[in-house]
Structure formats: C-alpha cells, structure tokens
Amino acid sequence: MPSLSRLAAGVTVAALALAGTTVPATAAPRQDTWTVSQRGISAEVGLTDGALHLDVERHGRTVLSGALGLHTTGADLSSGLRAVDDDRRTVVERYETTTGKQRHRATPMSELRLELRGADDARMDLVVRVAADGVAYRYELPEAATITGEASAYTLPEDAPAWLLPYNAWYEQNRVATTAGGAEAGDFGHPSLFEVGEDFALLTESDVDGRYSGSRLRHTEGTGEYHVVLADETVTADRTPWRTAIVGDLATVTESTLVDDLASPSKIRDTSWIRPGKVAWSWLSDHSSPSDFERQKEFVDFAARNNWYAVLVDEGWSAEWVPELVRYARARGVEILLWFHWTRLDTAEEQDTVLPLVKSWGVRGVKLDFMESDTQERYRWYDTVLAKTASLELMVNFHGSTIPHGLARTWPHIMTMEAVRGAENYPLPVNNPVQAFTRNVVGSMDYTPVSLDTGIQRASVAHEVALPVVYESGWQHFADSPEAYERHPEALRFLNQVPTTWDETELVAGHPSRGAVFARRGDDRWFLGAISAGEPRTVSAPLRFLDGGRWLVEVIRDGEGPRGDVVRSSRVLTARDTLSVEVAADGGFAAIACRAWPGRTTCDEPLQHVPSSTLDVSPAGEVDVTKGESFEVTATFHTDRDVRDVRLSAVAPSGWSVSGRTVTRHRLPAGEHLTARWTVHVGQDSPSGYVDVPVVAEFDAPRWSDRVHVERAVRTFVPPPPLAGEPWVSDVPFVAETNGWGPVERDRSVNESAAGDGNPLTIDGVVYEKGLGTHAPSRVEVYLGGQCSRFDALVGLDDETTEPGSVAFRVLADGAVRYDSGLVRPGPGIPVSVDVSGARMLTLEVTDGGDGKNFDHADWADARLTC
C-alpha cells in the first residue's frame, strides 16, 4: 500500500485516492483488497472466494472485522461476487448545526466505491467512507429491490470489554458491562461500545429514515460476532443506511460527529426560528400538574424569573386552557411546548388539523411519545411528521423513540430525542457515566436531568447539577419542581448559566464504568461537568482545553449534608493546571471558566427578562355573537420600560374579518399608552362554539433576542343550531371536551389513546350501543340554549380495564351541580335523570375518585336529552 502523507490542511488520504480514474471492467486487473485511509484509521475491503469482508485498523492495530453483503428476493449479494470497477474520491462535509456538541463542522472523508456483480450479473455497489473518527459503509442497488436481510456483521475479540444495551424499540434498558464474547445470546441496540486494547469502537448506524428499516445487533453466543438484523422481515429500498463504527480513543469516540457527518444534509434552509434552550417540566416531580392550568402558570413564572426558554406541558393538558397559558407565557418571554401520544398524529389528516391548530395557539414545539418501533413504516411516519412540523415551524422532541441517526442534521428542528433510560426511570448513579460514552455520542439525549428532591436521590446534588454539561441536549428538560430548585439557590444559579448548545466539546477524563469529565465551550466560557460512580474519591480534570492566559474558574461542589445545596468557590488557573476535587459517593462537580481580569469575581452573565406589560381589551368577558354580526373591540397597551417597533393589531379568526388599522409606534416610552379600535365581522360560515379573537402587541426590547409577543383574546361564542326531540348526546356537537387519556369516544369505550380505537360500551357485562366513553378526569360541554328539559343516562366503569378504577360522575347546568354520583366502583350501571330546564349549557364531568386516574374508564351509556 502506498505510504501516507499529511496535507497542509491536516487531511491524510491514501495516495492515488484522489485520482477518481475509472478503468473499464474489461481492462481491470484482478484485485483482492482495497484500502481506504484517513489520519490513522484504515479500512481494508477484501474479496475472497466471492465473499466480502472488512478489516478496520487504527495506527496499524486491528480493531474489528466483519462480513459484508446483502440478500434480496432476486439475488444473493453476499457470495459469488466479483469486482468490476472501483472509484475513489474525498468527501468534505461542511455544515452548521442548531444543536449538538460542536456548532460548526468540517469533516474530510476518504471514499471507496466498489462495483460488484453476482449471479446473473446482479449489481451492488459497496460504498466505504473513512474519517479520522471511524469507518462506515453502505450498499447501493441500481433500482429498488425487496431486501430480505444483510450479511453485515462485526467481529470483535472475545475478551474485549463491552457496554451493551439489551434491545427494545424504545432503547430504555439498563446497559450491561460484559465482554464481546461473554454477552448473552440475543439482540442488542445501537450504539454498542467495545474496548479493544488501546482503542474503542462504537457501533451504530446513520442516515436511517423511511427509505429503510432500523436495525439491531444479534450476538452469537460464545463468539465476538454481532450480526446486523433488520426490524422488518423485508424492506423495499435501493440503498441501505450507513453501518457505522466510530473508532479511536475515548476522546475521539465521545467527541465524534461521524453519525451527523454521514447523514443527509438539512432539508430546512432557514433555521432562524429554531431555538434550543432550558425547559421547565412538571410531569416527573408533580405528576398530575400537566392537567392543572394554575400549576402550569407557576412553572411559567419560574421559567420567566430564571430566563429559561420554555415550559413543557406533558400528558394531561387541555385544549380549553392551553391557548390562554400560551398567552400568559409569551408575555413573560416563555414559550410553551406540548406533549402528544404519536397516535394523535399518525394520519395525514390528523397532522394537517392538529398541528396547525396548536401552531395557531402560539405553541412553539411538540413532544411526540411512544413510537416504540424501528420498522420502515414507523420511520416513514417520522419522515412525514418532521416535514409537517418543519413547514409549520414547530420544533420537535421525540420520546419513546429510536436513537438519533443523524436526523438532527437532516431536520435541524429536532431539539432532542429520548432513547435512554433517563431520570423518569429512576436509574442508579452507576448507570450514568456510560450514557456519555454511548447513547449521547450519537445525538442530543433527553435524559431530563437534575433531580434534586424527586426520584431515588442516590446521586449527590453536585452530580445532578453536573449532568447538563456531561449530557448534551438541545432542549434540557429539567426534572424537578420550582420549589426544589429554589431550595437549592446555588444549584439553580449554575443551571441558569449553563447553555444547551456548544461550540466545542472535549472529553477531559473518564471511563464508562467509573465516571466522566467533560468540558464544553459556549461562546467565550467553558463549562465543566464531572460525575462519578461508586465510592468517594478525588476527581481530577487537567485544564489543557483552556487557551493561554489566566482563567477565573468557579467550582460548584457538594456542600454539607446529604441533600444540601452546592457551594461555590473560585480561583485563578491556567491551562497548565489540574483541577482536583474531592467528591462524595456517587458525586461530582461542575465548574465555569472565563477569562480573568482585574476586579472580575464571577463568570455569571446577567439574566435577561422581558419588560412587564399590560394589554387591556374590551369586551373583557365572554360575548355571544351570531353569524353575520359585527361588534367592536378596543385595546390599550403599555410597558414598564422603553420599547421599540411596537405593533398593535387584532387578528381575524378563519372566515371572519377585521376592519380598522394596525397601530404602530417606533418608540413607546415606559408608561405611555398605545390604543386601538377595530370592528370585527363574524363570518357567515363560522363554526359554532367558542371562537377567540386575538389582540396582539409585538415589540423589540433591549437585550432580548426575540421579538416579544403579548396577546389577549376576546372570547366569543357562536351558538350551534337549537336541539329538538330526544337526541343522543353522542350525536350532537360538543362545545368543548377534555379527557384524561385520548379523546372522548362516541358510542365506544375510550380504550387506548388513539381516536376511534374504543370497544363497545360495556358496564357490568351489559353492552350499550349509544353513549360516551371517557377517561377521568374528563369534561364534555353541550349547548342546550334553553331548549331542553331533561338529561338521562346510565353511568359506570367500563369492563375493558383489567384492574378496578374509581370515579365520580357529575352533571352541571350553567355551572351549577345538578347531580353528583359520589364514589363509583365497578358494578351495574347507575341511572341518572336530571332536570335541565332553561339551561344554556350542559356539562358532564368525571373525576378520578381521589386515588389517581389509572383504570378510570368511565361510560355515559344511553346518554340522551329531551328537548
């Protein structure tokens, strides 16, 4: 093989690899091996007796080897192969990211394309790329074929230490420390880490989407062999993803961007709307709070005080109050993110209706959960939902998901993905270091860190505080409550400073089984995170990542007491120094480093807040309107600080119109009022029910990067047609509905979370054709308009649950309780007959009985009105 030479730009390639010369197949000499190299990493492809194999070396040391090939219904492309052509080139990927360990990327890769022919002249191209941080290959076919599997496999030394993830499709098992040969027979998920002498290899895949199927590694017991197994029995495709081995020392592996480098380029040209940041999240610390509007406002207030980007409202939110929560939050400089079970968006129709609706409320992103599949069909769903959210400028967090495959490069509005046994599973601290060397290497990881009062409380407070540096995630969803963080003000002080995207990342020290120390740079500050597993010890961090000169280093470490606040100390150090900290059992520390100058005492930057503002609108209460009617809206706006480029407008709902001008002001001094008046025309084709008329004030504020959005709404009600006769409630329109799990079902039980997935309504063995299937807590409003006299039903718990629940049923007329069942447990249906004479609005409520909502499937059977 020709010797290697270092180019001026620091890129090493195999001699002659850049020629790109194609030799006609008839003239090509027989060649059994092809070698591709890049800066100490080499891949040798061999063709022996018609079978392909791959050997990967680092600095002359063999790290792994393995078989190559593809099986289709029409050809066996793993044997009887012959090479007919080869081509070489250098590929340089230059791009910027919205999230990740390194914002600006420039990666040279040497590429070999080997054209192969099998029986009946069936063609397959093997494409191999080698970078300074690893090797990847893929298969390409001249046209789509039905692929039945791959011959792709990796062979590691049997005694190589290994950190493996027993496979499930949501990647949330505990990783096991074993050896390549000693691991149990079975399937293991990507990425899988192996230590081979001086080197490490992290096996994973890249550029996986709906064009193919996901895969896993199947171990052959008693050997070091791991075969690539697809999630589907067959896949229709013309190419495979990149089978990817990140290779190097631990620093090379953890700092690698190879998975992103191999992925398809961004499909989004303008990324200015994408905003990483810190997120307050209530579900883990206060499980019922996502259904509590007032509690969510407290999380918004906390986020605003601490300059956190957003609040995630998890499972349990209500469409009745989310728009108002969004208005409340945005006026304080906080955005709202909403949770969805993926089945709420599993059809094109749902994506085209639900997502535009929440976008119209002002929601900035969605958390999509429980996909739990690596099949090609599910990956096609990822493709469609990512395209739709991108078109609406909605950011995305995937939970219950597959791992990143470079998706955040292709779709940079992906802020993070779960696919980890995170804080919600209460993992032991001993499981924390390995995630930094495995799962988090391949993309942002929504571990939901920093549990101070919630969870098992085994890791020290400083260990928890260090996690947002050790773990990279474009959105960091912090796991605890405002009260917990405010009881730890020094911990909160650090969290308020730590970024969620990074310009530079370096592994400082660590090992998957013992601990991890990472340094990450955001702008001109370095943040250090160190976590340790096991007994108390001294953790040392050489500061070689710092540039020359003197640096102020503030260290955040555990204080006195098992769950007390962290303490902060500072010193001036240089890149020649080593920072050593005594840490507790399962402890850690964090640090911030900034340039030292005379008089500088802290690296903290001031927190930014939007100006306080007031937007008053009239009419202030709910207004009944009829189709074709017009009414006046007025607004008055002011702030407590000078602001610029103010714009005050009223927004017409769909099918309505607004007369009157938008009022603008180049500069609005503090306390000065801006007023406007409009005439709103109700559309003749307006839907019935509640319709909000938003009034919006937008402005620019000093030291605030985004335009501030302050919104109030005039609440109107467009009455539906009057009811007559004896209609079933399941046949009339709902004015509003909320449900504890999935949508309210008509003439079916609630069953699971998908719309229309219910079973026949069944109470104590009796099946009912008509009625409502709900899940506590639920609420259904029906407009009566004074036209009805009686409501009748049979209420009870549906038989579909395997464990008993308990609920209470209530019937309200114009907000007044007319019937309360008291506590209801499984048993026969209870007859309900309520006088609703003269009532404008009927409300049917189900509460959880006081013991939580699990198994609370509640039916309103034979629900009927007399009108």
| Catalytic site positions | 369, 424
- SS3 call for 835: strand
Q: Any idea which residue has 């692929």 for tokens?
A: 147
Q: Tokens standing for 184? A: 């149990």
Q: How many CA atoms does the CB half-sphere of 226 hold within 13 Å?
A: 34
Are 118 and 76 contacting, i.e. CB atoms less than 8 angstroms apart? yes
For residue 59, the one-letter residue type is H
Q: Tokens standing for 849? A: 């009985």
Could you give the CA distance from residue 150 to residue 231 in angstroms, rounded to a whole number? Answer: 12
Sort 667 into a burial class: Cβ within 10 Å, 0-12 / 13-18 / 19+: exposed
**CB atoms near residue 266 (< 10 Å):** 18
- SS3 call for 243: strand
Q: E strands within 669-777?
A: 674-681, 689-700, 708-718, 736-738, 745-746, 761-763, 766-768, 771-775
847 strand-pairing partners = 808
Round to the nearest angstrom and report the end-to-end CA distance of the chain.
Answer: 91
Q: Tokens standing for 141? A: 């076919």
Q: Among 146, 118, 121, 104, which Cα is nearest to 51's?
A: 118
Could you give the CA distance from residue 328 to residue 712 in angstroms, rounded to a whole number? Answer: 9
Sign for the pseudo-dihedral over CA of 461, 463, 466, 471: negative
- Contacts for 673 with CB less than 8 Å, ≥ 6 apart: 636, 637, 638
Could you give the CA distance from residue 51 to residue 134 in angstroms, rounded to a whole number? Answer: 23
**DSSP, res 564:** P
Residue 499, preceding bond cis, omega within 30 degrees? no
Are 52 and 67 contacting, i.e. CB atoms less than 8 angstroms apart? yes
Are 715 and 684 contacting, i.e. CB atoms less than 8 angstroms apart? no
- SS3 call for 296: helix
Could you give the CA distance from residue 834 to residue 850 in angstroms, rounded to a whole number? Answer: 24
Q: Tokens standing for 287? A: 């499980």
Are 451 and 438 contacting, i.e. CB atoms less than 8 angstroms apart? no
CA R_g for the chain: 30
Sign for the pseudo-dihedral over CA of 638, 639, 640, 645: negative
Q: Give the pairing type, strands 475-478 and 277-281.
A: parallel
Could you give the CA distance from residue 730 to residue 149 in angstroms, rounded to a whole number? Answer: 49
Could you give the CA distance from residue 84 to residue 91 in angstroms, rounded to a whole number? Answer: 23
- SS3 call for 230: strand
Could you give the CA distance from residue 244 to residue 204 in angstroms, rounded to a whole number? Answer: 5
**DSSP, res 25:** G
- Contacts for 616 with CB less than 8 Å, ≥ 6 apart: 635, 636, 637, 712
Q: How many CA atoms does the CB half-sphere of 558 hold within 13 Å?
A: 24
- Contacts for 620 with CB less than 8 Å, ≥ 6 apart: none
Q: How many CA atoms does the CB half-sphere of 228 hold within 13 Å?
A: 28
Q: Among 156, 154, 216, which Cα is nearest to 182's?
A: 156
Q: Among 770, 758, 778, 825, which Cα is nearest to 794's?
A: 770
